[in-house]
Amino acid sequence: MASLTYHIDEEQYVAALRLHAQLRPRWTHWLRYLMAILGVLIFVTSLRLKTYWLAVGGAIYVLVATSSFQMYVRPMAQRAYRRYPAMHQAQTLELSDGELTMRSSQGESRVPWNFLIQWAENAEFMLLYLQPNLYYIVPKVADPDQAVLGELRSQLQAHVGPARK
Chain-centroid distance, C-alpha 108: 22
| Mean pLDDT (whole number) for 93-122 | 90
Per-residue confidence (pLDDT) for residue 21, from 0 to 100: 83
Report the distance separating Cα 155 and Cα 120, nearest Å: 13
Other CB atoms within a 10 A radius of the CB of residue 88 amount to: 14
pLDDT in tens, 28-49: 667 777 888 888 888 888 888 8
pLDDT digits (tens, 9 = 90+) for 76-107: 889 999 999 888 899 999 998 778 999 998 89
Q: Which domains does the chain have, with CATH numbers?
A: 2-8+86-159 (2.30.29), 12-83 (no CATH)
Cβ atoms of 125 and 15 closer than 8 Å: yes
Residue 121 confidence (pLDDT) above 90:
yes
Query: What's the pLDDT score for residue 136?
Result: 93
Separation of alpha carbons 102 and 111, rounded Å: 8
pTM exceeds 0.85: no
Q: What is the mean pLDDT of the chain?
A: 87
